[in-house]
Amino acid sequence: MPTQVNQGLATLSDQLILAAVLLYLAAMIGFALELAFGRARTAAAAVATRRELVGARAGGGGGDVGDDEASADAAGDTAEGGSRTEPEPAAWAVRAGGVAVVLTWIAWAGHLAGILTRGLAADRWPWGNMYEFVVALCFAAVTTFLVVLVRRPIRFLGAFVTVTAALGLGFAVLFLHVQAGPVMPALHSYWIAIHVSAAIAASGLFTLAGVCAILYLIRRDGRPSVLPARADLERIAHSAIVIAFPIWTFAVIAGALWADRAWGRYWGWDPKEVWSFITWIVYAAYLHARATAGWRGKAAIIVSLVAFACLLFNLIGVNIFLSGLHSYADVPR
């Protein structure tokens, strides 16, 4: 019998997702204001910070050498057109960044509630079609950002993560939205909670790495910038990929086990299976090149972006442009 859909909860889910889009946009504005006016990052500012650290460690004595080195660096920065002194960051901009964090958490809670009410409305796991998967993917990306933010100072990524989430949700609402309802029999399995959840979690981490990689290419070391140094961006991207890769590996293996249960074979070279494997290979190549060949900097970042492009095509493009056994995404035509 077809599952009875709770239209009230389905409507509430749609409204919560729309509210999350607006809140993410508001948070993005706050993060952008802090990035532009409250977090000035120039070479001269870095020298000033280094001088303060040297002085603190020396306890007022024995810090002459460090101060001389910092002064020499500052002189070099001045010769390049920098300034030895930086104006204090605007207090209102710093407060805007704090408000943006609060708004992001509120949007995250609304986003989560939208996913849960969608699942309760249809009485199933809420990622049975492309609309639900993209909504969950955006949620995973924001969750990754917020979890890392608790442990590391990555607030500078807030504007880019929230605008990515808002655009992703907006795309899902405008072009992928379908009414909550039952799914095909193959998806009525506990494997959807295992396989798809792992894919979503890994994709959220890969998305954070992809954002850092794009910012790495935008950033120019040696020039005044509101972004952190390229080395910091590369470090964050690499850490996210290191965590995400084994999760994605598990998702691929779990997908093969589910395929055997649903279709009687572990691997059939379906387009989704092929592109999942291609994505795995390119990310593996990135990690291998970085660990064994010592690839660093732009070359490694470009490989990670190629892998991220494969991931996006696998998650979205395959369901839209290719047909196969995974063509159950209910993409509106």
The secondary structure element, H or E, covering residue 9 is helix 7-33
Q: Which of 28-32, 85-89, 254-258 has the highest mean pLDDT?
A: 28-32
Where does the pLDDT of residue 271 fall: very low under 50, low under 70, confident under 90, or very high at 90 and above? Answer: confident
Would you say 111 and 142 are in contact if contact means Cβ atoms under 8 Å apart?
yes
Q: What is the pLDDT of residue 202?
A: 93
Q: Which of 4-18, 30-44, 53-67, 195-209 has the lowest mean pLDDT?
A: 53-67
- As a whole number, the mean pLDDT across the chain is 80
> Which amino acid appears at position 327 of this protein?
S
What is the average per-residue pLDDT within 269-295? 88
Q: What is the pLDDT of residue 43?
A: 42
Of 245, 250, 243, 233, which Cα lies nearest the Cα of 300?
Answer: 233
Is the predicted pLDDT of residue 185 greater than 80, yes or no?
no
Greater model confidence, 135 or 69? 135
The neighbouring-strand residues paired with 41 are 225
Q: Which of 134-148, 180-194, 219-233, 258-272 has the highest mean pLDDT?
A: 134-148
Q: Which of 15-29, 141-155, 262-276, 317-331 has the highest mean pLDDT?
A: 15-29
CB neighbour list of residue 240: distance below 8 Å, 6 or more residues apart: 144, 148, 205, 206, 208, 209, 212
Is the predicted pLDDT of residue 72 greater than 90, yes or no?
no
Q: What is the pLDDT of residue 3?
A: 59
**DSSP string for residues in 150-169:** HHS--GGGHHHHHHHHHHHH
Q: What is the pLDDT of residue 80?
A: 38
Q: Which sign, positive or negative, has the C-alpha torsion 185, 188, 189, 191?
A: positive
Q: What is the pLDDT of residue 161?
A: 93
Residue with token string 């159950």: 328
User: pLDDT of 156-183, one tens digit each?
Assistant: 899 999 999 999 999 999 988 888 877 7
Q: What is the pLDDT of residue 299?
A: 87
